[in-house]
Structure 1
Amino acid sequence: MTTGRPTSPRTRCRVRAVWAVFALGAVAAVLAVVVVVVTMLRPPGPRPLFQLPVPCGETWQLGTYPGHDDYDVDLFPTEGEAWGRPVLASYAGAVTEAGINGSLGDRTPDNPDGPRGRGGGYWVKIDHGGRWETQYLHLLEPPSVRVGQRVEMGEQIGRVGSTGNSGAPHLHYEQRRGWDKVETHFDGAPSEITHDEAEYTVTRTSENCVPERP
């Protein structure tokens, strides 16, 4: 003797439909993970011809200090005020991050000694293809680009500031190859910022020049 009601054909169809949707979703999720893993396991492509992320012809000081992390570069202009200077894309690519890294703090041109924030403050990350990326941190204000946007080399993505964990207005910049942070190269030449065992600087002049249109 049974006490439950028999399952109707309509109910069985609904259950099958729910399971079919669930199965399709699971398969799609697995495929997405596989695509990401396969992409990350591919060897990086050739290094793009990165340029300094500042306007053409300007000379900037590139520096580091103990605890800054190997290959991290801080950029300061050799002439003029740092606040608000244009930050340019080092090479063409797609924006993958454009927002706040950590917290902003309250260091501004009107309050340069205000409290520090955490992390990189306003920042941008660009995917240049071939598993090459660049990062731009401590921007003055929200980036002038958005996630998913295609940018060209020399296109302005923000302005120099001191948001996040920053002691003075500057641009913190990184180049990454696959999983690894690497020595920055500009116009095909190594920057010579390779370690953080001591405080040291070099100067470089930007060749981030937009070709003239005919």
Structure 2
Amino acid sequence: MLWRVTNGHPRTHRRARRLLRVLLALAAVAALAAVAAFVVPLLLPPGPRPPFQLPVACGETWQLGTYPGHDDYDVDLFPTEGESWGRPVLASAAGTVTVAGINGSLGGRTPENPDGPRGRGGGYWVKIDHGGRWETQYLHLLEPPLVRVGQRVARGEQIGRLGSTGNSGAPHLHYEQRRGWQKVETWFDGAPSGITHDDAEYTVRLTSNNCPAGQP
């Protein structure tokens, strides 16, 4: 006697295949939606410039500068008075922290050993998204940032302390403003800094208006 072996009713197989096609289609739609959510904002034009302030304490005067080979629009900030190590570094405008960690390697320059070995890159650093495709970057911090990724910060909130980690010769803050994918000239308190190309050494002194609400 011969026995016929079956693997289930044909209609069951057809229903399973239809269900599989539906699931695959839903997965494809979800993937496309995820890609669109990431790509579409990048294609939109940048929003208006946020009201950036100097990333240092209210009323302090700092020297801003650049030099040949520094890269266009990069700004180094040095205090004009007092100790540099450990000075508060503040958010230039309100936003959300997207990076808070180490860029490159730290090296060994500290207040106790200011001539220690240099590291690579920016050392301890922070990046803040201000919306409208605007962001700021803060490099060479003394120690791990005081903020974490995803944290919302207010303008003037302390995010770290001034140091010399990474590829840094002396304690200072390397600072950038970016619009979309590109670095742009830094503006503070509604005015351009004048630091654009790095074809020559250039310095300027500015006083911070990054003050608590209601304080001049």
Instruction: Give the drift of 1:50.
Output: 0.3
2:122 is paired with a residue of what secondary structure?
strand
Q: 1:14 to 1:43 in 2, by over 3 A?
A: same
2:33 is paired with a residue of what secondary structure?
helix
Structure 1, residues 112-159: CA drift from partner, whole Å, max 9, x if none?
Answer: 111111111111111111111000001111110011110000000000
Q: Which has the larger radius of gyration?
A: 2
**Counterpart in the other structure of 2:80:** 78
**Counterpart in the other structure of 2:113:** 111
| From 190, 199, 202, the counterpart of 1:200 | 202
Instruction: Give the drift of 1:30.
Output: 2.4
Q: Does 1:100 align with 2:102?
A: yes
* Structure 1 runs (4+) greater than 6 angstroms displaced: 9-19
Structure 1, residues 64-84: CA drift from partner, whole Å, max 9, x if none?
Answer: 111111000000000011110
**Counterpart in the other structure of 1:63:** 65
* Counterpart Cα distance in 2 of 1:194 and 1:73: 9
**Counterpart in the other structure of 2:163:** 161
Q: Give unmatched runs, 5+ long, in structure 2.
A: none
* Counterpart Cα distance in 1 of 2:21 and 2:166: 47
1:37 is paired with a residue of what secondary structure?
helix
Instruction: Give the drift of 1:13.
Output: 7.9
Q: Does 1:53 align with 2:60?
A: no
Structure 1, residues 182-209: CA drift from partner, whole Å, max 9, x if none?
Answer: 0000000110111101112110000000
TM-score, normalised via structure 2 length: 0.89
**Counterpart in the other structure of 2:135:** 133
RMSD: 2.1
| From 174, 177, 188, the counterpart of 1:172 | 174
* Counterpart Cα distance in 2 of 1:87 and 1:6: 74
* Counterpart Cα distance in 2 of 1:162 and 1:15: 62
Query: Kindly, what percent of the aligned residue pairs are identical?
Result: 77
Q: 1:103 to 1:48 in 2, by over 3 A?
A: same
* Counterpart Cα distance in 2 of 1:46 and 1:13: 54
